[in-house]
Amino acid sequence: MPTDRILDVSGLWAGYGATPILQGVSMQVSRGEIVGVIGRNGVGKSTLMRCLMGLLQSWRGTIAFMDQDVTQLEADARARAGFGYIPQGRDVFPQMTVEENLQVGELIGGPDGKKLPELVYAYFPRLKERRRQIAGTMSGGEQQQLAIGRALIGNPSLMILDEPSEGIQPSIVQHICDALKSFRTELGTTIIIVEQNLDTILAVAQRCYIMEKGKITRSLAGEEVNEDNVRAQLLL
Ligand SMILES: Nc1ncnc2c1ncn2[C@@H]1O[C@H](COP(=O)(O)OP(=O)(O)OP(=O)(O)O)[C@@H](O)[C@H]1O
Ligand SMILES: [Mg+2]
């Protein structure tokens, strides 16, 4: 039966050493959705994203991506299959220029990546102005745009962002939100975004999963993605 589901996670367990963190996470994402994952500090949001990307092996459960079981695939194979990942913090090569950082994205993205630097610059004009600047000398917000641009160059079907607004000035957060919505409408990118910033979630997420202590306990959809509901889940 045809399905518009791009990701199907079922009963996922994972942790560090012998300590379980994810305790049976299930979630489903449809093609072209922007889905938020919200929850308090330390509940396992980043652990879940690492597991989705294949940077942390799951103990149990399955991850299906475009009807293919990817549970056993390493991160690089998942990247080739269409996963893009922007980890928490500023994930750029600080000693390289903007242009060189994007070239690394091209290598990961394969031959199709070659035409994409201009696409990145179209969404993030500031990066074009600064293309010869050493990435580590740029502001946090500019570095975050670069990290997103580098992932975009791989032409991902599914982009996973872990707290992209953390420590970034509001005007750049707004620009990043607009870019994410454009990726969805113009490129058909599906997006999973972990966020603790109320405004970011309200600006971009069509649906939200709520995480508590290693489990997804609720989901919010449509009108339920509102200030009161989201704020209640983000309180520390
Ligand atoms: N590399 C690691 N080794 C051991 N324990 C870890 C590691 N990374 C995270 N943890 C622990 O796993 C739990 C979940 O952490 P995780 O980073 O997934 O939470 P989070 O929801 O992303 O939190 P935050 O909102 O602070 O980013 C925490 O108790 C954390 O201390
Ligand atoms: Mg985290």
Residue 187 within a domain: yes
Residue ranges with CB less than 5 Å from ion ligand 2: 45-46, 88
pLDDT single digits (tens) 174-206:
999 999 999 999 999 999 999 999 999 999 999
Residue 216 phi, psi (nearest 5): -90, 120
60-65 β-sheet, strand order: 19-30, 5-16, 60-65, 68-69
pLDDT single digits (tens) 60-114:
999 999 989 999 999 999 999 999 999 998 789 999 999 999 988 776 655 554 5
Closest ligand 1 atom to 44 CA: 18
Residue 127 within a domain: yes
pLDDT, position 57: 95
Residue 2 within a domain: no
User: How many folded domains does the chain comprise?
Assistant: 1
Domain with 177 in it: 33-57+75-234
Residue 216 within a domain: yes
pLDDT, position 1: 46
**Residue 63, Ramachandran bin (φ over 0: left; ψ between -120 and 50: alpha; else beta):** beta
Q: What is the CATH number of the domain that holds 199?
A: 3.40.50.300
pLDDT, average across residues 163-180 = 95
For residue 44, the CA-to-ligand 1 centroid distance in Å is 6
For residue 21, the CA-to-ligand 1 centroid distance in Å is 8
The position carrying tokens 């035409």 is 115
Identify the residue whose C-alpha is closest to ligand 1 atom 8.
47
Residues with CB under 6 A from ligand 1: 16, 21, 39, 41-47, 88
For residue 187, the CA-to-ligand 1 centroid distance in Å is 32
For residue 41, the CA-to-ligand 2 centroid distance in Å is 7
Residue 163 within a domain: yes
To the nearest whole number, what is the mean pLDDT of the chain?
Answer: 92
For residue 215, the CA-to-ligand 1 centroid distance in Å is 14
For residue 13, the CA-to-ligand 1 centroid distance in Å is 14
Q: Among 16, 49, 236, which is best to mutate for testing ligand 1, by the most ligand atoms less than 8 A from CB?
A: 16
Closest ligand 1 atom to 88 CA: 27
Lowest mean pLDDT among 51-55, 109-113, 165-169: 109-113
Residue 121 within a domain: yes
Residue 120: exposure state from Cβ atoms within 10 A (0-12, 13-18, ≥19)? buried
Nearest bound ligand to CA 42? 1
Identify the residue whose C-alpha is closest to ligand 1 atom 18.
44
| Beta-sheet pairing, 19-30 with 5-16 | antiparallel
For residue 46, the CA-to-ligand 1 centroid distance in Å is 7
Identify the residue whose C-alpha is closest to ligand 1 atom 28.
42
Taking a C-beta distance cutoff of 8 angstroms, is the pair 28, 2 a contact? Answer: no
Identify the residue whose C-alpha is closest to ligand 1 atom 10.
16
Q: pTM for this one?
A: 0.94
Residue 100 within a domain: yes
Residue 87 within a domain: yes
* Other residues' Cβ atoms within 10 Å of the Cβ of residue 224: 13
